[in-house]
């Protein structure tokens, strides 16, 4: 992962070839469906997304990228199963802890939603160049400031990871120990997180100056060097996706047919 390409995995699969806007809309559709439609839809979404990344040859990097979110999903599941407030329908007990039906159900749904959100975002980031996204948004009339914020957000994680490595080394060299009790470990986070945040501010200032010097956003009649592909099929796809999004919202607002 580099600062230039973020999470982008070079390739020419059918997902790579879609226009960034098409993929952004598809991402919106997935998120709307995951959070507004009945939970059973989550299963369909997971199957569809996994099939899509598999057909694009990205199954392996996707699984690798899910390792850290997996911990989050697991904790959502465990915490809800055990500590869901007001739930009494006990399924199983282990000493003072008991798993409740309501808790387990809620945990599964929440974890499912987060899983879908992560999978869809990863599929988007893996197949979309940040710069293409930027060009597309600007060409569609988005303000350069909004585009810049999106671009920075995409690039921030790799940058911070880079810096975090150097900071960890610098503080270890000053005798910071990352072992010991839980409290000790939590305390050792302060000298690590402090420089990430403070240093990022210094970094952002310099980078903003550099963009300013290159005239980013100074003139309304911006031109584009890079040609972002937009095959005819994408226009039809976008129309279909927008229709589906509206459909999801209508169904959610009017109540589900029972």
Partner 1 sequence: MSEDETRIAAPLRTDGLAVRYPTKKAPSLEGVSLEVGRGERLGVAGRTGAGKSTLALATAGFIPRVVRARLDGRVMIDGLDAAAAPADALLGRVGIVFATPANQLSASKLTVREELAFGLENLGVPRAEMDPRIDGTLDRLGIAHLADREPFALSGGEQQRVAIASIVAMGTTVLVLDEPTAQLDPAGTAAVADLLDELAKAGAAILCAEHDPSVLGRMDRCLVLDSGRMVALDVPGTALALAAEAASLTPPTLVRLAEAASLDLARAFDEPAVAAGLRAWADAGGVARELAHGATTATTAAAAAAGSIAAPPLPGPAWTPARERAPVRVAVDGLVHRYPGGVEAVRGASLRVDPGEAVAILGQNGSGKTTLVKHLNGLLRPDEGRILLDDVPTDGRSVAELARTVGFVFQNPDDQLFERSVEREVAFGPRNLGIATADVANLVVGSLAAVGLLEERTTNPYDLDLSRRKLVALAGVLAMDPAVLVLDEPTTGQDVDGVERVSAIIEAFRGAGRSVVAITHDMEFAARHFSRIVVMRAGEVVADGPPGLVFAPGNATLLASTGLTPPPAARIAARLGLDTVPLDAAALLATLRS
Contacts with partner 1, residue ranges (CB under 8 A): 2-5, 129-131, 134, 151, 155, 163, 166-167, 169-177, 179, 190-191, 193-195, 198-199, 202-203, 206-219, 221-226
Look up residue 116 and give its two tokens. 């879908």
Q: What is the DSSP string of 114-152?
A: HHHHHHHHHHHHHH--HHHHHHHHHHTT--HHHHHHHHH
* Minimum CB–partner distance for residue 61 and partner 1 (Å): 16
117 vs 216 by CB, closer to partner 1: 216
* Minimum CB–partner distance for residue 126 and partner 1 (Å): 16
- How far apart CA 15 and CA 124 sit, in angstroms, is 9
Start-end of H helices in 37-100: 40-55, 59-65, 67-83
Phi (first) and psi of residue 100, to 5 degrees = -105, 155
**What is the CB neighbour count within 10 angstroms for residue 48?**
14
* Minimum CB–partner distance for residue 193 and partner 1 (Å): 8
DSSP 8-state symbol, 101 = H
Q: Which residue, among 116, 143, 99, 88, has the nearest Cα to 32 in the 3D structure? A: 116
68 vs 227 by CB, closer to partner 1: 227
Angle between helices 101-127 and 67-83 (to 10 degrees): 160
218 vs 242 by CB, closer to partner 1: 218
5 vs 105 by CB, closer to partner 1: 5
Look up residue 255 and give its two tokens. 């109540």
- How far apart CA 247 and CA 225 sit, in angstroms, is 37
3 vs 63 by CB, closer to partner 1: 3
69 vs 217 by CB, closer to partner 1: 217
Look up residue 23 and give its two tokens. 């993929």
Look up residue 205 and give its two tokens. 């200032």
Q: How, if at all, do strands 90-94 and 97-100 pair?
A: antiparallel
1 vs 47 by CB, closer to partner 1: 1
């Amino acid at each position: 992962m580099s600062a230039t390409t973020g999470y982008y995995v070079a390739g020419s699969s059918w997902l790579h070839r879609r226009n960034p806007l098409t993929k952004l809309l598809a991402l919106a559709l997935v998120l709307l469906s995951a959070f507004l439609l009945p939970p059973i839809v989550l299963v369909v979404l997971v199957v569809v997304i996994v099939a899509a990344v598999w057909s694009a040859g990205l199954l392996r990097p996707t699984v690798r990228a899910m390792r850290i979110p997996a911990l989050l999903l697991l904790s959502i599941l465990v915490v809800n199963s055990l500590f869901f407030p007001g739930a009494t329908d006990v399924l199983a007990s282990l000493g003072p802890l008991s798993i409740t039906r309501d808790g387990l159900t809620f945990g599964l749904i929440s974890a499912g939603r987060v899983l879908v959100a992560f999978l869809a975002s990863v599929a988007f980031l893996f197949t979309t160049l940040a710069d293409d996204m930027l060009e597309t948004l600007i060409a569609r009339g988005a303000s350069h400031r909004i585009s810049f914020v999106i671009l920075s957000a995409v690039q921030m994680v790799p940058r911070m990871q880079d810096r975090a490595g150097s900071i960890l080394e610098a503080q270890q060299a000053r005798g910071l120990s990352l072992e010991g009790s839980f409290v000790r470990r939590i305390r050792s986070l302060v000298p690590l997180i402090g420089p990430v945040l403070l240093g990022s501010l210094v970094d952002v200032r310099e980078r903003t100056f550099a963009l300013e010097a290159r005239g980013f956003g100074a003139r309304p009649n911006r031109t584009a060097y890079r040609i972002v592909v937009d095959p005819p099929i994408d226009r039809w796809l976008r129309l279909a996706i927008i229709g589906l999004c509206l459909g999801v919202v209508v169904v959610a607002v009017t109540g589900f047919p029972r």
